Structure formats: C-alpha cells, structure tokens
Amino acid sequence: MPTERIGLMGGSFNPIHMGHYDMAQAAMQAAGLSKVLFIPSGLPPHKQIVEATGEKRFQMVTAAIGRDKALVPSRIELDRQGVIYSVDTLLLLKKQYPDSALFFIIGEDTLYELPSWRNFETVLKLCTFLVVPRPQDALRQQSREAALKRLAALNARIQAVPMLPRNISSTGIRDSLKQGHMPDTLSPAVQAYIALNSLYGFPAWIDGASPLVDRLFDTLSASRFSHSLSTCLCARELALIHGVDAEKALLAALLHDCAKCFKAERLRLILSENGLTHDPRLLLSGTLMHSLAGEFIAKTEYNIIDPDVLSAIACHTCGKPGMNALDMIIYLADKIEPGRKPYAGLETLRELSRTDLRGAVTASLKSTVQYLQDNRQSIHPMIYDTLDWLQTQTQ
C-alpha cells in the first residue's frame, strides 16, 4: 500500500492564478491527496517564456501557495537543464517518493494531448491522471471521447475531478497587466509580487524593489514571504486612503518581518551586541524581538535609511506612544492583510482601518491584551504605554 498520495501540478505558471489553486484543492478533495507539488517548468517544449524567468515564476508560486502546508512548490524541473519531459520528472519523483502514489493533475484539454507525450506508455504506469473539467464545446466533446477510448485501451488510470470549470487564462492575465490593470484572479501576494517587480509590463509600484524581494525570499519561510507580500497590498491601499506616502508604506510592509525567521538566539545577539535594548522582557519574547531586530536588519542588510520606514518596522508589534499614520498603517496591515486566517473581529478591524486608524490600532491592541490575558501570557508594558497614549489622542 502506498504511504502517501501526492498530486502533481505542472505548468509554466506564467503567472500562477486562482484557477490553479482551485484545481489543486478540488483534486485533493476528489482523490484524498495529502499534498500537491506545484512544479513550474524550466523550458517547456512548446512554449517560449519571455515574460518572467523561472526564478520569478517559482517565487510567485511560493507567494501564492506558501501559506497552505499541503501545497508545496517544487524546483524539480527548474533545476534541470535542457528540454524536460513529464516522463523524466515522473521517474525522478518516483525515485524521491518510492512508496507514494503519484497523481498528475491536468486540465481536460491536456487529456487530448496525452498520447503525444514522450514515452507515453511509461507515463501511464507511473501515475494516475486527475482530470479537471474545462469550458468546452461540442466538437471537443467528440475528441474527448476518442481520446478516452484510446487511453482506456492502454489501461490508463483516469479519474474525473468534479468542479465547475473556470475560465481563467494566464494569457488573458498578462494582457490585462500589460494595460496596467491588476486582475483579481491573482492571489493578493502574487498581485504585490508582480507590481513590486514590474512583471509583464505592469508599472512598478516602487523602483528597485526586486533585489529586496529576492533577498527576502532567501531568508523567509514560504508562508512568511506570502504574508509580507499580502501586507504590501494592504498597506498600499491604506496609505492611499489615508493620504500617506505609498512608497514608504510599501517598503515598510515588505520588510516588516525581515528578521522574523531568525532563530531566537540570533535575534537576542543582534539586539544585545548592537546595544539596541537591555529590556529583559523584550529579550525573552520571541515575537517582540523580531520587530526591533527587523529595523536593524532593514538598515544594515537592505540599506534602508528612511527613518519613517525604519520606525514603522520597529513598532509593528506593540505600537509606541507618538506613533504616526505610517506606523499605524504598517501595524494594521500586518494584522488585517487579505491572507490572514479569519479571527474574531477581523472584518470589523478591516472596516475601521479604512476610516479611523487610531480607533483601529486601539481595538487591535485591546484584543491582543485580551488574548494574552486569556492565555495567561505576559503582556509587554509597551502595549499599555501605546494604549494610554492613544487614549490621550482621542480625547
């Protein structure tokens, strides 16, 4: 008996969109898969990729699916040279997962092309095909039946995945981007990624962000990378609503968690060696150290010199007395970005953030205090200092 049932989603992901995500979810449900590997292609035989490099497409895939532990970006095709055929990838994966059952997730249109795949008969032995419906016409219905007959004669294992066909195409998305329109069929993190890197001809939100994004990608976990990008989207929107410099908001949002994935000992060392704090309560708190260390890392490793950006990074966990609108936006965007798992009061906080920054920060800090009290965790005095100061501002 196979130990694990693994789904495979291949493609150029140029760019990855919600249709890909829905396909993977539907396939997982239908076939009881424990995970799905997303495999961006290196140099596909029939397509010339000019719009985004393999590396950028891999980062986009990570941004899109990084928060779902069951969805795993795979470099198996990107790290190989030359033309790569599915049969080679399947053979490699079989070696990597000898006891697992492999399920190739394909759109119905690909079903018709299967017999022309290289070493097709070997491919059939290595995996089951999970076929996702596509919008189609009557003519295709005929070729579908012919293909199915041919596949059945070869004992192909094919399972239909029930889902409503969606009409999202990467080509259409690239066309929209070229015209400066951001499609909502892209996940929030991918939207921010494309705009920060100015991919597909979309006008850049800020100049020179690409190397910062690359560096973050190398130091953050997949889920933190995705969160940081979604925070950018949210921070920019709040900055535009509240008349705050959107470029500063984007930079601070992008880098707010740049030290979040460092180990506690490393954070403690950064803070103590550089004399950034001697506060024993802060030095014992894993979560609070990363904002202050993040300010330092943003300065020394990402070459950020703008004091406003640095301040917003430093106070994104507890706020501070005297925090300005940019500080509040970063504090809030971190808590309410579109990829956040739902929590009590989230929607109210999102609404309030659009109309009343101080009120929203107050509400969020109060619910943090409540949460920490309920869970008998210690509360850093800075939270109370911020709340006291906010109260003097609203009087």
Using CB under 5 A, list all residues that contact Fe ion: 257, 334
Tokens of 354: 């659009």
Rg (CA), the chain: 24
Query: 3-class SS at 143?
Result: helix
141-149's contacts with Cβ under 8 Å and 24+ in sequence apart are: 143/112, 144/108, 144/111, 144/112, 147/111, 147/112, 147/114, 147/115, 148/111
Least distance to Fe ion, CB of residue 189, Å: 13
Q: Which is nearer to Fe ion, 51 or 301 (CB)?
A: 301
Query: 3-class SS at 4?
Result: strand
Q: Which residue has the tokens 């936006």?
A: 329
Cα 278 to its chain centre, rounded Å, is 35
d(CA 63, CA 189): 6
Helix ranges, 315-345 (H): 325-336
Least distance to Fe ion, CB of residue 381, Å: 19
d(CA 147, CA 142): 9
Q: Which is nearer to Fe ion, 169 or 287 (CB)?
A: 287
Q: Which is nearer to Fe ion, 244 or 333 (CB)?
A: 333
Least distance to Fe ion, CB of residue 335, Å: 8
Least distance to Fe ion, CB of residue 81, Å: 38
373-376's contacts with Cβ under 8 Å and 24+ in sequence apart are: none
Q: Which is nearer to Fe ion, 100 or 223 (CB)?
A: 223
Least distance to Fe ion, CB of residue 257, Å: 4
Q: Look at phi and psi of residue 11 and say left if phi exceeds 0, alpha if psi is from -120 to 50, else beta.
A: left
DSSP state of 369: H
